[in-house]
Amino acid sequence: MQALLKKQAPLVMGFAWFLLTRFTPPNVLLLLGAVGLLLVILWWNHGRLSLEGYSGFLVGILLLGILGGVFYGAPWPYLIRDASYYVSPLLFFAIGFQLRQSLEGIVLLRSFLFYVLFATILTLGETLLLFANSQPVSFEDLRSVLVGMEMQVPLAFMLVSFAKDFGQEPLLSGKGQFVVQILLLLRMTFSFSRTMYLMLGLSLVIFGLCKPRRKSLKVSSLLYAFLGVLLVGALIWWAPGGIKENFLHKLTQTFQEVSADTNWNIETNIIQNWRGYETSVAKKLFESGDALQQSLGFGFGQLIPVSHGELVGVSLEEGGITILHNGYYSMLIKVGTVGVGLYVLFFMGTLITAWRKGLKQQMERPLVLYVSCAYLLATFVITGFFARGGDPWLVLLFAYGIASKKEQVVGASALIQKLQQSGQ
């Protein structure tokens, strides 16, 4: 019975989470996160909260934003909305730590895999339906279906492919693993997402470096490399001309899109590079602030006063937007250079934890390294850790991986205890 539960629980958990993230508003997820954390603390951890010391950096960012919003008199609805973006990942990060004491890692990893798998199947199905329609498919139509899961899909592919290499029980076996790998490869190849391609490359490098050394290449590795080349070739051959041209144009404009140095008096530039435009407005707002505002931010509730929203379908009824694609500039406005510094320090802490203290054959080591690097990079283009449409499950898995090294990492309380013992 216990073996059956261990086998079926990940499938149920993955499907339930897929339904929640697909059909539940973010504020409901936030409430579920709060309730979940409360239950974890009271029932599974006897009221005690276990976290790494550098988790305080995230709490510091939250407090900076709230205090700044109150100090500068931000409207309460705006302040609460901004705070919710920062509270949600904090809650799930805490939950991930507590789960380490009561849930086997294999259950959580499999649940994450099934969650990504269900989302992948739905996305591939929606893509097929899109092309089954008699009307021509534009690049924007395709992107509206394929957008999202840029960090999760590459991670799921790495977890299912490398589990045995790290001494981990296989997440799937036999034909099931092969089918899932093919589906994930299809999802990544036909994503038309520069961010997902970047995350795939990053995950390959990190898992490859962390993997125990092998004297020869495995046949399966060569097979997947060959399949990857075939899929890329199919992408180039099969994609309609308009879609290929738009995607190649996006590739050539990658660095320009993260730059704010463009003539924004030309509407075409705004339409083609909205991310760069909103960043330029945020940059001007930041530079207009005094030393205190630049250091500690304008607080939660501060809007970024962009215009021309009608050109790209962005509603500006409130007088601006509350969050940017560039998460670093979002934080500069909300919590200043101090907040951005705390954000970077937090991920430096997680990187050091995984690299210096992790066991070489533990799956959690490359997992934490990948998620840390992915968030640091993705914050430039898809908001980052504090996101309106973020994925609590990824944050939970991230924290769970860090907590696995609790026995190797000296936390704040353990450090104080050791110092006291050395003093005696």
Q: Is the four-CA dihedral 284, 346, 148, 79 of positive or negative sign?
A: negative
Note the pLDDT of residue 334.
Answer: 95
Compute the distance between CA of residue 356 and CA of residue 278 in angstroms, rounded to an integer. Answer: 39
Compute the distance between CA of residue 64 and CA of residue 381 in angstroms, rounded to an integer. Answer: 23
Give 304's strand partners: 321
Distances (CA, A) of 264 to 267, 272, 311, 338, 383: 7, 11, 13, 29, 22
Residue 325, token pair as written in the block: 């694609």
Per-residue pLDDT tens listing for the chain (424 residues): 455 556 688 888 888 888 887 877 776 777 777 777 777 776 766 777 777 778 889 999 999 999 999 999 999 999 998 998 888 888 888 888 887 777 777 888 999 999 999 999 999 988 888 777 756 666 677 777 877 888 999 999 999 988 888 878 888 877 888 899 889 988 888 887 888 888 999 998 998 888 776 544 455 555 666 566 666 666 655 666 556 566 665 656 655 555 556 767 777 777 777 788 888 889 999 999 999 999 999 999 999 888 877 766 676 767 788 888 889 999 999 999 999 999 999 999 999 888 876 555 578 889 999 999 999 998 988 788 887 656 788 888 898 888 875 543 333 334 334 334 444 4
Of the chain, the percentage scoring pLDDT greater than 70 comes to: 75
Residue 309, token pair as written in the block: 């929203």
Note the pLDDT of residue 358.
Answer: 58
Q: Which residue has 């949600």 as its token pair?
A: 88
Note the pLDDT of residue 417.
Answer: 44
Q: How many CB atoms lie within 10 A of CB 306?
A: 23
Residue 339, token pair as written in the block: 């907040």
DSSP state letters, 106-120: HHHHHHHHHHHHHHH
Look at residues 393, 402, 335 and name the one whose alpha carbon lies nearest to residue 88.
393
Note the pLDDT of residue 40.
Answer: 73
Q: How many CB atoms lie within 10 A of CB 73?
A: 10
Compute the distance between CA of residue 391 and CA of residue 149 in angstroms, rounded to an integer. Answer: 9
Start-end of H helices in 239-382:
241-252, 254-257, 267-272, 274-288, 291-296, 327-357, 364-378
